[in-house]
Amino acid sequence: MTGTVPCERERLALAQHHDPAVLPHRLVASWKRSAGYGVPLDAVEPEFAGAVDDQSLFFESGHQVLAELHDTLADEPVSLMLTDPDGLVLNRVCSNRVLLGALDGVSLAPGFDYSERTTGTTGLGLALADRVPTLVRADQHYSTRLWGYTCAAAPVSDPVSGDLVGSVNLTTWSQQSYNLLLALARTAARTTEALMLARGHGREARPASRGRVVRVRTGRDEGDAACPEELGAQWRAAADAARAALLAGRGVAVVGEPGVGKTVLLGGVQARGRRVLHVRPPEPEDVTSWWSLWSPELGKPGTSVIVGRVDRLPAWAAGELAGLVTGDGAQLSITAEDPAAVPEVLRRVVGAVVEVPPLRHRRDDVLPLARRFARDARGRPVRFTAGAEQVLATYHWPGNAAQLRDVVRRAVDRTDLVSERDLPPEVFTGTHSRLTRLETLERDEIVRALAEPGATPALAASRLGMSRSTIYRRIARYGIRLPAESPS
């Protein structure tokens, strides 16, 4: 157990003959957070939010899974629920009237906020906070009002983006057998994710994150990795703000969309001669071993650590990380997609939050970055035709600089002069909507036909077996644009 002063819940545990030193670490950490939130020990006071989102892919998939699971449980006194990522109860499937009445008495019902912040340690609150399947039994709950229940919950993540979308929660009486409860919650969560993927119209599941611990190439030690002299004012302003925070001895959080270059920026502003490690969390179940691998480096002289994606850290790991940051806050930098997603305990240990704008808002940075990526990939300068430059400069780059780097690397694989025909079909479109696999294939074929020398929409339609009206509709639907049609 960390810390020297036990919280009120730990004192209560001692009074009940539990030794906090042998209780699960995550449970004790949750009790401490609950005490810090001011959750009462003898009451349950969740806030009522009212309407819930019952139109999402997660809700539709999860509700079907719980309904089928409920059928197999017959008359067992188990309540099955979905929550959103903030702990708001979305639905409840249960046929046991006694249990339903009891759950109503503690407001464990649709529309109520059952997050750790409002109700203290519960199975669903802790599963969402630490992003791993969790079982909380009887007097392990923070509030004594919940000691009559056993709660098992498992988080559900979007199978494509990895974002936390909610949880599956199973609650029963505390005196009931709970051996299979956590396994059922875990299976229901994985089945929900699989059903979301199947209903996602051609989406592909993301690979599991294995985490990483790597040394960062810094701009001051090995050449200017972020090439700030070539980039625009917005990038330079973000870099200057991050550098000022580090020079002042404060930690810094750099936020922005995936792929904008948050780690590249932080690597480029580190002091000369410092050893810089970039660590990124794996799947929540593997965080403990990942944590033990690199956390001792944080306190070493001359070493800076960049912790990426802190919005995906389990709550216990975020608390441990904040506890390791003492006097030299400049040793720690963190990244996240959104300022609000930075865990509260980490917001308190960084002195500045710097935002990197998306590439679509930094049009002047596209071509300098493309030339840099091409030179790095080819080992020598690479030229782009005027048409290729126009396509690159006017595309909206939803994947930001990371997508631009991938596109350029593929284009320069076999050439030192990149033309429009070397670019992938995706950059010739202006649509922001997600396409199915069949729609993507159709779009790509139309782009290839239109890119042929001397091609016109009429000729392309003839080659593809379409009518002219159909191809014009498809061009408008997919936002296809040719270099000659692109705005100057």
The three state secondary structure string of the chain is: CCCCCCCHHHHHHHHCCCCHHHCCHHHHHHHHHHHHHCCCCCCCCCCECCCCCCCCHHHHHHHHHHHHHHHHHCCCCEEEEEECCCCEEEEEECCCHHHHHHHHHCCCCCCEECCHHHHCCCHHHHHHHHCCCEEEEHHHCCCHHHCCEEEEEEEEECCCCCCEEEEEEEEEECCCCCCCHHHHHHHHHHHHHHHHHHCCCCCCCCCCCCCEEEECCCCCCCCCCCCCCCCCHHHHHHHHHHHHHHHCCCEEEEECCCCCCHHHHHHHCCCCCCEEEEEECCCHHHHHHHHHHHHHHHHCCCEEEEECCHHHCCHHHHHHHHHHCCCCHHHEEEEECCHHHCCHHHHCCEEEEEECCCHHHCHHHHHHHHHHHHHHHHCCCCEECHHHHHHHHHCCCCCHHHHHHHHHHHHCCCCCEECHHHCCHHHHECCCCCCCHHHHHHHHHHHHHHHCCCCCHHHHHHHHCCCHHHHHHHHHHHCECCHHHCCC
Residues 186 and 280 in one domain: no
Residues 143 and 21 in one domain: yes
Distance CA 308, CA 296 (A): 17
| Domain end among 322, 357, 392 | 357
What's residue 460's pLDDT? 85
Q: Does the residue 298 lie in any domain?
A: yes
Distance CA 44, CA 387 (A): 64
Q: Does the residue 1 lie in any domain?
A: no
How distant, in Å, are the alpha carbons of 254, 302, 358 from that of 366?
Answer: 20, 34, 11
Residues 371 and 321 in one domain: no
Residues 344 and 226 in one domain: yes
| Domain end among 357, 385, 414 | 357
Residues 102 and 182 in one domain: yes
Q: With the C-alpha atoms ordered 79, 83, 89, 92, is the resulting torsion angle positive or negative?
A: negative
Distance CA 396, CA 416 (A): 24
Residues 65 and 109 in one domain: yes
pLDDT at 224 over 50: no
What HEC string does 61-100 produce?
A: HHHHHHHHHHHHHCCCCEEEEEECCCCEEEEEECCCHHHH
**Domains in the chain, number:** 3
How many of the other CB atoms lie within 10 Å of CB of 472? Answer: 14
The amino acid at 55: Q
| Domain end among 137, 165, 198 | 198
Q: Does the residue 51 lie in any domain?
A: yes
Residues 39 and 125 in one domain: yes
> 189 pLDDT band (50/70/90 cuts)?
very high
Q: Does the residue 141 lie in any domain?
A: yes
Q: Pseudo-torsion of CA 153, 154, 157, 162, nearest 10°?
A: 130
Residues 372 and 480 in one domain: yes
Which CATH number goes with the domain that contains 168? Answer: 3.30.450.40
Q: Does the residue 450 lie in any domain?
A: yes
Q: What is the CA radius of gyration of the chain?
A: 26
The amino acid at 250: R
What's residue 201's pLDDT? 61
Q: With the C-alpha atoms ordered 144, 147, 148, 154, is the resulting torsion angle positive or negative?
A: positive
> 229 pLDDT band (50/70/90 cuts)?
low
Which pair of tokens denotes residue 283?
A: 């799947």
What's residue 1's pLDDT? 35
- Note the maximum CA span of the chain: 85
pLDDT at 408 over 80: yes
pLDDT digits (tens, 9 = 90+) for 193-212: 999 998 876 566 667 676 66
Nearest to 153, CA basis, from 81, 85, 224, 94: 81
Q: Does the residue 118 lie in any domain?
A: yes
Find the mean pLDDT for residues 317-338. 80
What's residue 226's pLDDT? 47
Residues 63 and 148 in one domain: yes
Residues 412 and 338 in one domain: no
Which CATH number goes with the domain that contains 401? Answer: 1.10.8.60
The residue to which tokens 């079909």 are assigned: 425
What's residue 370's pLDDT? 95
Q: Does the residue 204 lie in any domain?
A: no
Find the mean pLDDT for residues 132-142. 94
Residues 408 and 370 sit within 8 Å (Cβ to Cβ): yes
The residue to which tokens 């875990």 are assigned: 186
What's residue 228's pLDDT? 54
Find the mean pLDDT for residues 367-381. 93
Which pair of tokens denotes residue 303?
A: 């070493």
Q: Rounded mean pLDDT of the chain?
A: 85
Q: Which of 13-27, 180-194, 281-295, 385-399 has the lowest mean pLDDT?
A: 13-27
DSSP letter (8 states) at residue 106: T
**Residues of the chain with pLDDT > 90: what percent?**
52
What's residue 279's pLDDT? 92
Which pair of tokens denotes residue 156?
A: 């559900």
Which pair of tokens denotes residue 43?
A: 């009451």
How many of the other CB atoms lie within 10 Å of CB of 14? Answer: 11
Identify which has the larger pLDDT, 253 or 476: 253
Residues 224 and 119 in one domain: no
What's residue 8's pLDDT? 66
Find the mean pLDDT for residues 335-360. 90
Which pair of tokens denotes residue 311?
A: 């919005």
Which CATH number goes with the domain that contains 353? Answer: 3.40.50.300
Domain that holds residue 110: 8-198
Residues 136 and 154 in one domain: yes
| Number of alpha carbons in the 13 Å side-chain half-sphere of residue 276 | 27
Q: Does the residue 207 lie in any domain?
A: no
pLDDT at 101 over 60: yes
Find the mean pLDDT for residues 14-29. 68
